[in-house]
């Protein structure tokens, strides 16, 4: 009976965010090389790095807990992008990324800011702001893509933003 309760508890925790069950095989997180640190105040450089990442990862399938081009979840993609393209270590899970950096008003977003969404009662989604109301993310339906913040779906699900 105790095992069933524990199993149910673990299963329900996996619903808290798009990446609450990251791939924890030995070395997986360390397999993402850390790039040269980028000054996040240099919007031009940040945008170039983010678009470069998009070109390389465009269309990679969504996979809960994934952290590679064979499948990635939203927070894994954000983690990998910050680590490899911007030279910045941020937490791996959406739950912890929500506390990264400082809060930022939606109307003051700049390239590299994290944008968060509440897609269901207990499900969170994260992406990286690019420019012109666009953000980069790993969508559950279309994989790695660029979407518009003012898209009917994303506009209704927008929650908050943070500047790492």
Locate 26 and state its tokens. 């030995």
Q: Is 74 annotated in the active site?
A: yes
> Under the phi-then-psi rule, with left for phi > 0, alpha for psi from -120 to 50, and beta for the rest, what region is 133?
left
Is residue 138 within 8 Å of 125, Cβ to Cβ?
Answer: no
CA distances 102 to 77, 138, 152, Å, are 20, 23, 26
Q: Is 99 annotated in the active site?
A: no
DSSP-derived secondary structure letter, 61: P
Percentages (nearest 5) of helix, strand, coil residues in the chain: 35, 25, 45
Given 18, 38, 67, 74, the catalytic residue: 74
Given 49, 83, 137, 162, the catalytic residue: 137
Q: Is 18 annotated in the active site?
A: no
Is residue 139 within 8 Å of 145, Cβ to Cβ?
Answer: yes
Given 53, 125, 143, 145, the catalytic residue: 125
The catalytic site residues sit at 74, 125, 137
């Amino acid at each position: 009976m105790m095992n069933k309760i524990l199993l149910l508890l673990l299963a329900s925790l996996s619903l808290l965010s798009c990446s609450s069950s990251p791939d924890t095989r030995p070395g997986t997180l360390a397999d993402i090389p850390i790039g040269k640190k980028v000054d996040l105040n240099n919007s031009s450089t940040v945008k170039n790095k983010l678009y470069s990442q998009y070109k390389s990862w465009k269309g990679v399938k969504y996979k809960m807990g994934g952290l590679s081009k064979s499948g990635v979840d939203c927070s894994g993609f954000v983690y990998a992008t910050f680590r490899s393209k911007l030279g910045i270590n941020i937490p791996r899970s959406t739950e912890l990324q929500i506390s990264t950096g400082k809060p930022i008003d939606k109307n003051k977003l700049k390239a590299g800011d994290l944008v968060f969404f509440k897609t269901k009662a207990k499900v969170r989604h994260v992406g990286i702001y690019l420019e012109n109301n666009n953000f980069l993310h790993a969508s559950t339906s279309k994989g790695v893509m660029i979407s518009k913040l003012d898209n009917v779906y994303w506009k209704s699900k927008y929650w908050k933003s943070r500047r790492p």
